[in-house]
């Protein structure tokens, strides 16, 4: 038995509706022909109108179980024909909408672990009813780079943390006042009900049907990785002679990474110019991507300077899967290469470029399997992993993630059906973007020497009323600038 309440007033809806829950998307539902239950007393549907205000609280119950809670976002389809019922249609959004619609943030996450960063963000938005739940990731105590949240929503920051930790995040309704935010590594997601290919399993769980799609949507068996700049795998050696008055020395290639610098055979210290601005001192400084380096002090004329460095070059790596090429060749009687080209300038070395290409072949070189399950039982939550171990086909025996959950209400039967979409390719983007995400985790979004402005809401005017006050004129000595910290009280 479905019951719907808007601002704690029971309403009726005599049409079918669907509640869609999908990872990263905001769950929503469209309710048609909505009117207060009190209208049924006199059954007068034409002399009055019903249209709840935006952000009115909506609760949907299946018997005594709260299956959805959110706010009215849009109201429409209200007939102005005096002969027709004045019902309305409303769009309802889950409270997750406040993660992107709520007040923007304005603080810096600095010297924090991943766990502490998540707690810091959640503490700011707990007034919207959010709480931090499971944080099942691999390195929750790892320090992340400084990150400014200025003018960003909580949704933006959560997604950033998910990217740099190669994790997934979901929300879960706990009750009408609380929404839980959960983070999971793809290998540590909560395990849901295992699928068994037996009649008993289908009958016990009221499963109407399971079907699968087997698709090569972005297939390739040859991957060519291109990059405009990567560090060369071969060290470059150059020798130059100081003239006694220059501190800048040019190199034949752009410098990517310096291995060593010697002067007259003696090892000298070196670091990047970014580190120099942070206070690090060395004998020599360089900037990656430039074809020169600089000496901190003048080198005497005739000194022999020897530098070993890895230059910045254009990168190109080719990865193939010969078994798949031969399979397609044998099947089609044609050349079996299916190639894709990717430009990735987030890789710094040829080795990284190679590993990214291997990830493409691993995850895009096999079909993606989608399982579609329909049942009258509530079997899984979005983000859970599901295993199918005794599948009738070998290709189906793998792990899946619940990507989408749909609750379908059939008004004529007063029955709820659950539909689920499970995918086998839930870890592909994590692996493909691994190196870029790791750099973002270490670097944050604040560059060396960069200053972050802050948003302050300071009232610039005020009315001050004095009672029983005497005024005495004093002589200003020096300037008349008030030297006091912000919000300091006047004591004299």
| 208 and 287 share one domain | no
Inter-CA distances, 194 with 1, 47, 125, 213, 387, Å: 28, 54, 35, 19, 5
| 158 and 27 share one domain | no
| 317 and 227 share one domain | yes
| 310 and 245 share one domain | yes
Q: Is residue 486 part of a domain?
A: no
| 158 and 269 share one domain | no
Question: How far is 315 from 229, CA to CA, in rounded Å?
Answer: 6
Strands 178-184 and 130-136 turn out to be parallel
**Predicted local confidence at residue 250, as pLDDT:** 93
For every one of its 492 residues, what pLDDT tens digit does the chain have, with 9 covering 90 and above? Answer: 789 999 999 999 888 888 888 877 888 889 999 999 999 899 998 989 988 988 999 999 988 889 999 999 888 888 888 888 888 999 999 998 898 888 888 888 888 899 999 999 999 999 999 999 989 888 888 888 888 888 889 999 998 888 888 788 888 889 999 999 999 887 788 889 999 999 999 999 999 999 988 877 778 899 898 888 788 878 889 999 999 899 999 999 899 889 999 999 999 999 998 888 878 889 999 998 899 999 999 999 999 999 999 888 888 889 899 998 998 999 999 999 999 888 877 667 777 788 888 888 877 777 788 899 999 999 998 888 899 988 898 888 888 889 899 999 888 778 889 999 998 876 655 544 444 444 454 455 545 444 444 444 444 444 556 556 666 666 656 655 555 555 555 554
Q: What crossing angle do the helices spanning 434-443 and 154-164 adopt, rounded to 10°?
A: 120
* Residue where one domain finishes, among candidates 67, 99, 131: 99
| 251 and 310 share one domain | yes
| 51 and 164 share one domain | no
| 55 and 149 share one domain | no
Question: How far is 292 from 250, CA to CA, in rounded Å?
Answer: 4
* Residue where one domain finishes, among candidates 338, 364, 390: 364
Tally of structural domains, the chain: 4
| 163 and 258 share one domain | no
Helix (H, G, I), strand (E, B) or coil at 282: coil
Edge-to-edge strand list for the sheet holding 248-250: 248-250, 292-295, 284-286, 270-272
Q: Is residue 464 part of a domain?
A: no
- E strands, 118-221, in order: 130-136, 147-148, 168-175, 178-184, 207-215
CATH number of the CATH domain containing 146: 3.55.50.10
Q: Is residue 484 part of a domain?
A: no
Inter-CA distances, 312 with 315, 318, 357, Å: 9, 19, 20
Q: What is the chain's Cα-based Rg?
A: 32
Question: How far is 84 from 316, CA to CA, in rounded Å?
Answer: 69
| 126 and 172 share one domain | yes
Region class of 376: left (phi > 0), else alpha (psi between -120 and 50), else beta: alpha
Q: Is residue 300 part of a domain?
A: yes
Strands 147-148 and 108-109 turn out to be antiparallel
**Predicted local confidence at residue 439, as pLDDT:** 47
Q: Is residue 478 part of a domain?
A: no
Range of the domain at 20: 2-99
């Amino acid at each position: 038995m479905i019951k719907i309440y808007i601002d704690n007033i029971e309403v009726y809806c005599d049409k079918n509706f669907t509640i869609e829950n999908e990872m990263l998307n905001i769950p929503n539902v469209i309710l048609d022909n909505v009117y207060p239950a009190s209208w049924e007393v006199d059954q007068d549907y034409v002399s009055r109108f019903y249209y709840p205000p935006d952000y009115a609280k909506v609760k949907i119950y299946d018997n005594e179980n709260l299956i959805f809670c959110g706010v009215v976002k849009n109201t429409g389809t209200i007939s102005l024909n005096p002969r027709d019922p004045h019902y309305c249609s409303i769009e309802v959004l889950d409270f997750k909408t406040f993660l992107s619609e709520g007040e923007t943030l304005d603080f810096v996450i600095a010297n924090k672990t991943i766990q502490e960063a998540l707690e810091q963000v959640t503490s700011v938005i707990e007034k919207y009813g959010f709480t931090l739940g499971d944080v099942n990731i691999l390195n929750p105590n790892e320090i992340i780079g400084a990150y400014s949240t200025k003018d960003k929503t909580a949704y933006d920051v959560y997604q950033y943390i998910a990217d740099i930790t190669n994790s997934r995040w979901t929300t879960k309704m706990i009750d009408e006042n609380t929404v839980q935010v959960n983070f999971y590594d793809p290998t540590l997601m909560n395990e849901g009900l295992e699928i068994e290919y037996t009649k008993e399993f289908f009958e016990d769980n009221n499963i109407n049907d399971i079907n699968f799609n087997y698709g090569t949507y972005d297939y390739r068996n040859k991957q060519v990785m291109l990059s405009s700049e990567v560090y060369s795998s071969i060290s470059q050696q150059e020798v130059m002679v100081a003239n006694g008055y220059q501190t800048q020395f040019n190199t034949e290639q752009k410098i990517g990474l310096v291995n060593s610098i010697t002067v007259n055979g003696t090892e000298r210290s070196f670091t990047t110019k970014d580190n120099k601005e942070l206070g690090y001192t060395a004998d020599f400084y360089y900037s990656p991507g430039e074809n020169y380096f600089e000496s901190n002090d003048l080198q005497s004329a005739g000194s022999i300077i020897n530098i070993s460095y890895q230059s910045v070059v254009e990168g190109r790596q080719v990865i193939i899967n010969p078994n798949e090429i031969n399979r397609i060749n044998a099947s089609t009687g044609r050349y079996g290469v299916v190639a894709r080209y990717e430009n990735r300038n987030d890789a710094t070395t040829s080795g990284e470029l190679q590993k990214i290409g291997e990830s493409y072949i691993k995850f895009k070189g096999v079909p993606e399997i989608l399982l579609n399950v329909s049942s009258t039982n509530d079997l899984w939550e979005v983000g859970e992993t599901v295993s199918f171990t005794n599948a009738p086909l070998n290709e189906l025996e793998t792990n899946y993630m619940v990507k989408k959950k749909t609750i379908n209400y059939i008004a004529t039967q007063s029955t709820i059906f659950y539909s689920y979409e499970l995918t086998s390719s839930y870890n592909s983007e994590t692996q493909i973007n691994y190196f870029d995400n790791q750099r973002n985790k270490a670097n944050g979004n604040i560059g060396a020497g960069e200053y972050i402005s802050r948003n302050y809401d300071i009232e610039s005017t005020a009315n001050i009323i004095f009672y029983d006050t005497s005024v005495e004129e004093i002589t200003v000595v020096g300037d008349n600038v008030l030297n006091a910290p912000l919000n300091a009280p006047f004591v004299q």
